[in-house]
Structure 1
């Protein structure tokens, strides 16, 4: 199927809209993503060439890596995916920005001694580290204030191995702003001139859980994703939120009003590539998400992951669509149809035609097969994807 056919199917204009967005990204479309992880970061970096108005609702339920260390130390939501998306959307042209970006992106070594790591962190917090001293005032003063808030509450035995300095800064801002994420996310967005809006789907310290086809239940994102533990060996049948010990009902985790407004303002909605459950569906679980999406009459596209996703074990494309629709339909009610939540699927030509036909048969959602992947790599071409996304109307 050709790009022109897609344009007709989606009522897309020709390259004029893309050119107009590229010339005036301040007026670019408000594309909303339900996303987590790093799979969308390359596309996000390209997208900011066309719009400064993209909106990213990110899962704060990650329980792996340095985010988990912070969660255990401070009983806080995960901030790693939020920091990663902020950096992907940061304006890389602003004078002095590389210095701030370098600090926020800096990771401490995995294999250094506790003494050496502690000494480096002390230099950073005191402002004597080259990464900090390179930043001009007043930005440096603000960053040191946030790091000071972190240092005031960090446990003496905190594990700094592989710690992201940006995550430590976010944690300091969270602790110094009444244990709320939104103020520090807004502040960091201004610090690096983020070309879009990045928010946690909810400001809650919760975990993702799944039920497997063999009857087992797993709680904790890092045990589900297959990145820090062996991949699951039975298909996922359902996912839910948990406080770590028991399931939390969606009604007890409502979508914040500020995020509902983002959905209401969107020009297009995208379920992007990423781990099916922990990166995408996790954002669809809070109460009110499905209702808000169904009420917004704009293009709603699913861009399924390329390559192997351990979380999608045993699931073909139609099954993945069903998994995305399940929490949305449960929230919006029995009268909602699949196309209230997803109007099109944009997939690479490597997806078999038979799978697309099954999607159309079971869900009545058109599946558009396009040459979207990078040559010789199981990744989307970010230029192609960005141009298609800004054309959705």
Structure 2
């Protein structure tokens, strides 16, 4: 019994001793890998270090020439004496390699301390190694110029997925919202509704999780504060400080370290209206989906609002244009009611993809198929604005469908023949997330599928 106990203790002792050793080895290996990452192409470190060394040499030669080479003469004499003294003690096959190793150690030590000092200033939280930050920064800045058009939660979901592939993102957001906190600020402050813009800024921010919680926080007490979200009030304050919403968004993007930029489709105060199949005219974005019935026509007042110049420039310079997902009539189409945006989208010769909703939306797209979504957009634009449509390829679970059926929402049917008739390519993929009990697009799957499609199309 005593022997068995001793064996077990010995095994436990060995296990405990082995684990830290393995951890230390792995940590050391990762550290060495990061050192070699500084030599990777595209970091722009080696070239500037080499230029610095050449500069030091040229400066030294210039000083020596200016002083009639006297310092160089004495330096050579001193170096020769030191080398002769070392050679008398150690043979050259030992002293040479020893000097090389010592020199490399001093260079490595000096550079490591320099990088460490820079890291403490530029990366004080030490959440990531500085080389990882630099590598990510270079990679994202080389990413394609992406324009994403939409509004609501659908656009912010898309932005979370594509921001890991590029920092050159422009989100074009509708400004037709007139409900909730945004509607109140619109009426009371005379500003454009900030709700969808707030969601996009939070989605593109580096500290996305914390900022989303902060921006989405709603006050439940306080006269005048109750019902408002912090993000809307933040943008309202920025709007008053800078003078207009475009400048307010730009200033907010700097403060929040936003990856990319967010632009309103227009700075005109537009109001949506919809004509229903039974002849009713419904005014106001928040009222359209609540009215019930089929929408046969949608417009805005005033008609033909001018586009923001920066929006048109972004579309013209884009490498990839994305539209959706989101509410068809109240988030996506309102952007296309700006004639200059429609014309710019029709002119560009780059891959253009529409991301279709997974489920129908009661009051807007009851019974719609994928081709019905395409028809609705084509009816407003009067010209094809995208080449391909991305749709969910796998059916949701029966439990999820039952819950949505109670709300009169059903999967958007993929009618392949009608999509082909409309001369659009169909991209099918599993881009769904049901982990929260709701059927939503999965940001990271969506981003991965889009960038894979883009690389093949390009």
Match of 1:130 in 2: none
How far 1:101 sits from its partner (Å)? 6.3
Aligned length: 301
Relative distance call for 1:84 and 1:191 in structure 2 (3 A) is: same
User: Out of 126, 146, 149, which is 1:34 matched to?
Assistant: 149
Match of 2:35 in 1: none
Partner of residue 366 from structure 2, selected from 291, 313, 318:
313
Other-structure match for 1:266: 318
Q: Structure 2 CA distance, aligned partners of 1:275 and 1:194?
A: 25
Report if aligned partners of 2:391, 2:414 keep a CA contact under 8 Å in 1: no
Q: Any stretches of 5+ residues in structure 2 without a counterpart?
A: 1-134, 396-410
Query: Does residue 294 of structure 1 match 2:346?
Result: yes
C-alpha deviation, 1:91, in angstroms? 1.0
Aligned residue in 1 for 2:236: 171
Q: Cα–Cα, structure 1 residues 51 and 206, in superposed 2: closer, same or farther, change >3 Å?
A: same
Aligned pairs for 1:41-56 (under 5 A) are 41-56=156-171
Q: Does 1:380 align with 2:441?
A: yes
Bigger radius of gyration, 1 or 2? 2
**Change in CA separation of 1:27 and 1:211 when aligned onto 2, cut-off 3 Å:** same
Structure having the larger proportion of residues in helix:
2
Change (3 A) 1:214 1:21: farther
Alpha-carbon contact 1:345-1:368 (below 8 Å) kept: yes
Q: Give the conservation status (yes or no) of the 8 Å contact 1:21–1:51.
A: no
Per the alignment, residue 346 of structure 1 pairs with: 390
The TM-score, its normalising length taken from structure 1, stands at 0.71
Q: Provide the rounded CA distance (Å) in 2 between the counterparts of 1:67 and 1:218.
A: 19
Which structure is higher in RCO with an 8 Å CA cutoff and minimum separation 6? Answer: 1
Residue 76 of structure 1 corresponds to 191
Structure 2 residue 298 is the aligned partner of structure 1 residue 239: yes
Match of 1:63 in 2: 178
2:375 equivalent among 322, 326, 329: 322
Shift in Å, 1:175: 2.3
8 Å contact kept, 2:199–2:212: no
Q: Which residue of 2 aligns with 1:281?
A: 333
Q: What is the 5 A alignment of 1:144-183? A: 159-178=224-243, 180-183=244-247
Shift of 1:299: 0.9
CA contact (8 A) 1:60 1:77 kept: yes
Determine the C-alpha separation between the residues in 2 that align with 1:307 and 1:103. 29
CA distance in 2, matches of 1:50, 1:58: 21
1:210 counterpart (274, 277, 287): 274
1:220 maps onto 2:262 in alignment: no
* Alignment check: 8 A CA contact 1:212 1:235 kept: yes
* Aligned residue in 1 for 2:80: none
Aligned match of 1:154: none
Quick check: 2:368–2:413 contact (8 Å CA) kept in 1? no
1:389 to 425, 445, 450: 450
Distance 1:366-1:69 versus aligned 2 partners, 3 A rule: same
Structure 1 CA distance for aligned equivalents of residues 178 and 294 of structure 2: 21
Q: Determine the C-alpha separation between the residues in 2 that align with 1:191 and 1:352.
A: 40
Q: Classify 1:52/1:212 alpha carbon distance in 2 versus 1 (closer, same or farther; 3 Å).
A: same
Matching residue of 1:136: none
Deviation digits for residues 285-305 of structure 1, max 9, x if unmatched? Answer: 112112101111111111111
Give me the CA root mean square deviation: 2.3
TM-superposed deviation, 1:103: 4.6
CA offset digits 1:129-162 (Å, max 9, x no partner): xxxxxxxxxxxxxxxxxxxxxxxxxxxxxx3212
Residue 219 of structure 2 is aligned to residue 108 of structure 1: yes
Greater shift in the superposed pair: 22-31 or 59-68: 22-31
- Structure 1 residues 101 and 354, CA, compared in 2 at 3 Å: closer, same or farther? closer
